[in-house]
Structure 1
Amino acid sequence: MAGLDRAASPGLRLGRWAYHRGEFVPASDPQLPLSTQALHYGIGVFEGIRAYRSADGLFLFRAYDHYERMLRGCRTLRIPLPGKPGDLVDITVELLRRNAHDEDVYVRPVAYKLSLLPGMPPGVFLSGLSDAMSIISYSLPVERLGQGVRCGISSWRRPPRDTLPAQAKITGGYVTSAFATDEARAGGQDDAILLDRSGNVAEATTANVFTVRDGCLVTPPTTGDLLPGITRDTLLTLIREVGLPVAERSVSPAELFSADEVFLCSTGKGVVPVIAVAGRDVGTGAIGPVTAKVRALYAAATTMPGGIHADWLTPVMETP
């Protein structure tokens, strides 16, 4: 999720505590040196994890899966994490308990290259550097369905996987998303959809893309140049369980224009209907019935600890 700062997001409130380099500290205390390698070269991996509040309490959603993906990305950049995914889930639970958020939460863990080790010359490396990990959390209510968003087709392409690993949330790679978002907003749109090097749909700036036509859902395959989103995987599971037809295949830009419905999905925002693409209304130009149904399935899965996917939920604070 992009834009996590108070000025850009009035509803965003940073928790009082952070986990930083092995300790729980006041969130205002950590300071990184100006020589931090991740700052200069984008050598870091991050995740976005949600905790949802319901009548049953506060529950992290698929936190273990997020940390497993983070672990894989960190291996790519030679960054050791301070524990296995289960350990990191436990650290996150403790952080949220300390912060005592009274609404939905967004968690941002980031692991990064810190400083050159003694004897290392200046340069861009993955080895010969110290490593660090930090976790912060924000109170961030889930956005309601609203009236949907308008997307452009970005002139910026999603970097191909032989240029930048698409399967990891590598910090430096998100400059492309920043370019695409800036271009979209300058054109009066809310978000942008990026194409891959073949000219097919890859993903939005921080979300995966689904289309709906004649009741069938389609999303680009993870063999393409896109992040295999955990929300995307969640929706595919839920959609198949209720018997809706769904396919993973290449999607051309023209299919966005002719679709009955289009929606985006991400950890930060959940299921977001797209009502226009490149100045063309999608379907009727309003939120469609399939999108609304998928959103309801997702909302139930993220807030019902007694449901069939109870293993996706980690309790933080349960209501007595």
Structure 2
Amino acid sequence: MITGRFAYFRGEIVPVEQAQVPIMTHALNYGTGCFEGIRAHWNENQQQLFLFRAPEHFDRLAASAHILMMRMPHTTVQLCELTAELLRRNEHMHDAYIRPLMYKSSPIIGVRLHDLEDDFAMFTAPFGAYVEIEGAARIRTSSWRRVEDTATPARAKITGSYVNAALAKTEAMLDGYDEALMLSENGHVAEGSAENLFAVIGGKLVTPSVTDNVLAGITRATLLQLAADLIGIPTVERSIDRTELYIADEVFLCGTGAQVVPVGEIDRRQIGTGGAG
């Protein structure tokens, strides 16, 4: 991925090649950081970028940081202004991705969260499709289970916990699928490797509850609101069994990075018509 020319690092906007962390950085060694992924959509007619729900993303970053005993250095309003300035400096005239990151920056060996320094960084990059497919995605149930809140909080976007997602994603792709379907430890549907999941079941739009160890996605919340307010389809947040998806009318994945990805096949079973609903 080619980043923009500038990044925000240690309190200032600097050339991206200067935004480097030492090899002993705590977060690099132990995964003690958290992040967000925010999209900016380029409008060719208006010749400008439109950020997708940036305040909500920064609020969630603050919540993740709090779980890791870190304090955000800026308010949500300040972070939105900083994001706009960084995008201007990088002169993106295309869809872009913004990655803000809070991390434990102390050069210390030892596993802990307390008595460590924190730091904030942010970069931007051109960004197209996260799940590169033609038509609908083929997914498989992963042998890897979704992390539990009692082990690594799934509601926080913790850098270290994305090894869980990487294991599932690589397993699925090396087996010839586009994405992974992850279950919780109790066997209920959780999400994709890094996307929330929805299914149309019995005329209702159903998605796993946040208590099933899913990320409380910003796109997920947006789709629930749009379904209720604009489309008028009933929405339900509840536990979903794996086999319910096999007989669902539609299934799709969603996320700020992934946007909306239709699912046409799960575990070699066609879903609905096999295409986008």
Task: State TM-score, norm by structure 1.
Answer: 0.82
Q: Deviations over 1:110-166 (max 9, x none)?
A: 11001157xxxx411112212111101011135798402111100100111111112
Whichever residue aligns with residue 287 of structure 1, its letter is: A
Matches within 5 A, 1:137-176: 137-141=124-128, 146-176=134-164
Which whole-Å CA distance do the structure 2 matches of 1:192 and 1:183 have between them? 8
Q: Are the counterparts in 2 of residues 15 and 136 from structure 1 also a CA contact under 8 Å?
A: yes
* Equivalent of residue 49 in structure 1, options 17, 33, 38: 38
Amino acid at match of 1:205: S
Residue 215 of structure 2 corresponds to residue 224 of structure 1: no
Letter in 2 for 1:267: T
2:229 aligned with 1:241? yes
* In structure 2, C-alpha distance between the alignment counterparts of 1:224 and 1:28, rounded to whole Å: 40
The residue number in structure 2 matching 1:189 is 177
Conservation of the 8 A alpha-carbon contact between 2:133 and 2:178: no
CA distance in 2: counterparts of 1:261 and 1:68, whole angstroms: 31
Retained in 1: the 8 A contact 2:37–2:257?
Answer: yes
Work out whether residues 51 and 106 of structure 1, in 8 Å CA contact, stay in contact via their aligned partners in 2: yes
1:64 aligns with 2:55: yes
- Is 1:77 aligned with 2:71? no
Please give the alpha-carbon distance, in whole angstroms, between the structure 2 residues aligned to 1:36 and 1:116. 5
1:153-302 superposed matches below 5 A: 153-242=141-230, 243-288=232-277
Q: Which of these residues, 123, 135, 139, is aligned with residue 122 of structure 2? A: 135
Gaps of 5+ in 2: none
Which amino acid is 2:123 matched to? I
CA distance in 1, matches of 2:253, 2:171: 18
SS state at 1:129 partner:
coil
Structure 1 moving runs of 4+ over 2 Å:
141-146
Q: Could you tell me how far apart the structure 2 residues matched to 1:112 and 1:158 are?
A: 23
Do the aligned residues in 1 keep the contact of 2:188 with 2:212 (CA within 8 Å)?
A: no
Deviation of the 1:283 alpha carbon:
1.2
In 2, Cα distance between equivalents of 1:275 and 1:43 = 37
Residue 23, structure 1, aligned to residue 28, structure 2: no
Cα distance in 2 between the residues matched to 1:155 and 1:181: 11
Instruction: Say how many residue pairs are matched.
Output: 273
Which AA in structure 2 matches 1:21?
A: R
Between 1 and 2, higher relative CO (CA 8 Å, sep ≥ 6) is seen in 1
- Report if aligned partners of 1:104, 1:142 keep a CA contact under 8 Å in 2: no
TM-fit CA distance, 1:277: 0.5
Residue 14 of structure 1 aligns to a residue in which SS? Answer: coil
**Comparing 35-44 and 56-65, the one that deviates more:** 56-65
Secondary structure at the residue paired with 2:210?
coil
- SS of the equivalent of 1:286 reads coil
Aligned residue for 2:122, secondary structure, equals strand
Match of 1:311 in 2: none
Distance 1:240 1:31 in 2: 45
Residue 89 (structure 1) aligned with residue 76 (structure 2): no
**Shift of the alpha carbon at 1:171?**
0.4
Secondary structure of the corresponding residue to residue 53 of structure 1: strand
Q: 1:212 to 1:76 in 2, by over 3 A?
A: same
